């Protein structure tokens, strides 16, 4: 089931006087409720923590809310490390899961006391040379042909991430030699996966590796990081992932592999992004033009600059028309942005109520990998982000970009004068 948009036509009328469309709106109450449900489902896990994947919704206001609900931050770049800091997330509450990492980012992660999760065996030496080798180290495992992939993330065998199975053993052996005393093991093999068994199997795969690391190297793994990738329903009628079933399935594997092999307690953590905020964000946009050629087009004031997923992956995002929720969907439209790119479409041949210029369209489930993926192609400016507080008030948590922002790196007159 999809979440209902939390505001009425009248409220949006009021809001758009001060905050013109398009904008993303996030619902604090629902985000908190979901976070609590998430933690409750996995409460049996020793030391359970979700390191929220910052890239999904990189805004310190959101990170602060999630921190209050017990989450850490999963960062992959310098900017994301800074975002975590701004939200007051510190030390081992930060997981640094990067790839193709520049030295200065390892230095920063190391200065912050973050958990460094290495993407390659060659990064052991790279890290040692730039930041010194830490006492706590984690590695990202890529199971290759041993695990099937899914649509968004692709086949592990073709993925650029992580260490192979053989390299994993070698990596821990070398780390021990270099003085590491605490060890983590990570994988991330799925994206937007709704199948519970897939996530249970991922846990089993890591538990088996924990057992084997103990047997072959005498190594005690302190935590496994099951990654993110828990799916959300983007279509009405699609079922939510059953967290209790995932949890029970993982618990059975934990008892069978970890407890039975005397490896309890093993900390279990995750790095979900989408599941945490995705369903609780909406892109609010206004119909600017209706165009009727070979198909009917509703041109809106948002574009791929505000939400890339449909254009980039052909992803489905549900669309409703504010105030027309109860009307029959008997008109077929392509809902488009203004980019000179024919994939700048939020929906293709979508049945909607008859649209008029000025209608407010609500594009659902944009709370993760939405605003964050925005770009400035065609000179488009990224929108504002608004937060609906628990008390019903509205907070602007990011202003819309202006032309000055666009030209901030392009002071043409100044550059020309200096260089010619």
Ligand X SMILES: *Cc1c(COP(=O)(O)O)cnc(C)c1O
**Interface with ligand X by CB under 6 A: which residues?**
53, 55-56, 74, 97, 188, 191-192, 227-230, 271-275, 368
Question: How is the chain split among helix, strand and coil, in percent rounded to 5?
Answer: 35, 20, 40
Burial of residue 178, with CB atoms counted within 10 A of its CB: 0-12 exposed, 13-18 middle, 19 or more buried: middle
- Closest CB 231 distance from ligand X, rounded Å: 8
- Closest CB 89 distance from ligand X, rounded Å: 15
Spatial distance between the Cα atoms of 53 and 36, rounded to a whole number of angstroms = 17
Nearest to 372 by CA among 40, 83, 87: 83
Specify the residue, 38 or 282, whose C-beta has the smaller distance to ligand X.
Answer: 38
Question: Is 340 an annotated catalytic residue?
Answer: yes
419 contact partners, CB below 8 Å, separation of at least 6: none
- Closest CB 105 distance from ligand X, rounded Å: 14
Catalytic residue among 130, 329, 338, 340: 340
- Closest CB 326 distance from ligand X, rounded Å: 33
Say whether 247 sits in a helix, a strand or coil: helix
The conformation of residue 6, written as its DSSP 8-state character, comes to S
Specify the residue, 59 or 97, whose C-beta has the smaller distance to ligand X.
Answer: 97
The dihedrals phi and psi of 188, each to the nearest 5 degrees, come to -150, 100
Say whether 408 sits in a helix, a strand or coil: coil
Specify the residue, 21 or 365, whose C-beta has the smaller distance to ligand X.
Answer: 365
Residue with tokens 């400035």: 376
Specify the residue, 72 or 353, whose C-beta has the smaller distance to ligand X.
Answer: 72
Specify the residue, 149 or 227, whose C-beta has the smaller distance to ligand X.
Answer: 227
Nearest to 28 by CA among 87, 74, 68, 75: 68
Spatial distance between the Cα atoms of 210 and 378, rounded to a whole number of angstroms = 49
Residue with tokens 């199975």: 165
Specify the residue, 311 or 367, whose C-beta has the smaller distance to ligand X.
Answer: 367
- The length of the chain in residues reads 420
What residues does 387 pair with on adjacent strands?
26, 395
Cβ atoms of 96 and 115 within 8 Å: the answer is yes
- Closest CB 302 distance from ligand X, rounded Å: 21
Spatial distance between the Cα atoms of 76 and 73, rounded to a whole number of angstroms = 10
Cβ atoms of 81 and 105 within 8 Å: the answer is yes
Cβ atoms of 128 and 134 within 8 Å: the answer is no
Cβ atoms of 250 and 205 within 8 Å: the answer is no
Neighbours of 130 (CB within 10 A): 16
406 contact partners, CB below 8 Å, separation of at least 6: 376, 379, 381
Helices (runs of H) and strands (runs of E) counted in the chain = 13, 17
Where on the phi/psi map is residue 314: left (φ > 0), alpha (ψ -120 to 50), or beta?
left
The conformation of residue 119, written as its DSSP 8-state character, comes to S
The set of catalytic residues is 340
């Amino acid at each position: 089931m999809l979440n209902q948009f939390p505001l009425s036509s009248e409220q949006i009328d009021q809001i758009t006087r001060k905050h013109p469309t398009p904008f993303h709106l996030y619902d604090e109450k629902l985000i908190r409720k979901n976070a609590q449900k998430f933690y409750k489902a996995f409460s049996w896990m020793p030391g359970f923590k979700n390191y929220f994947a910052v890239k999904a919704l990189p805004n310190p206001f959101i990170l602060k809310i999630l921190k209050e609900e017990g989450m850490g931050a999963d960062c992959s770049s310098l900017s994301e490390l800074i975002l975590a800091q701004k939200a007051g997330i510190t030390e081992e509450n930060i997981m640094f899961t990067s790839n193709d990492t520049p030295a200065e980012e390892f230095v920063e992660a190391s200065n912050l006391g973050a958990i460094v999760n290495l993407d390659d065996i060659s990064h052991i030496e790279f890290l040692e040379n730039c930041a010194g080798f830490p006492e706590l180290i984690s590695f990202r495992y890529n199971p290759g042909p041993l695990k099937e992939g899914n649509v968004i993330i692709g086949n592990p065998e073709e993925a650029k991430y992580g260490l192979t199975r053989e390299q994993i053993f070698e990596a821990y052996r070398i780390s021990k030699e270099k003085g590491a005393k605490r060890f983590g093991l990570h994988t991330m093999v799925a994206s937007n996966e709704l199948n519970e068994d897939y996530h249970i199997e991922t846990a089993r795969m890591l538990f088996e590796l924990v057992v084997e690391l103990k047997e072959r190297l005498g190594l005690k793994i302190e935590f496994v990081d099951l990654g993110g990738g828990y799916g959300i329903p983007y279509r009405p009628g699609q079922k939510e992932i059953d967290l209790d079933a995932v949890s029970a399935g993982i618990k059975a594997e934990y008892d069978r592999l970890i407890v039975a092999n005397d490896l309890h307690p093993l900390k279990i953590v995750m790095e979900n992004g989408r599941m945490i905020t995705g369903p609780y964000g909406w892109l609010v946009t206004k119909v600017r033009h209706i165009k009727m050629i070979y198909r009917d087009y509703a041109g809106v004031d948002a574009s791929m600059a505000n939400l890339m997923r449909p254009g980039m992956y052909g992803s489905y995002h549900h669309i409703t028309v504010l105030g027309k929720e109860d009307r029959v969907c008997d008109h077929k439209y392509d809902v488009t942005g203004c980019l000179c790119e024919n994939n700048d479409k939020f929906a293709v041949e979508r049945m909607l109520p008859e649209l008029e210029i000025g209608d407010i369209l609500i594009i659902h489930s944009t709370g993760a990998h939405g605003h964050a993926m925005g770009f400035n192609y065609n000179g488009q400016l990224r929108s504002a982000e608004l937060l609906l507080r628990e008390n019903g008030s509205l907070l602007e948590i990011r202003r819309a970009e202006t032309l000055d922002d666009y030209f901030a790196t392009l002071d043409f007159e100044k550059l020309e004068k200096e260089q010619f």
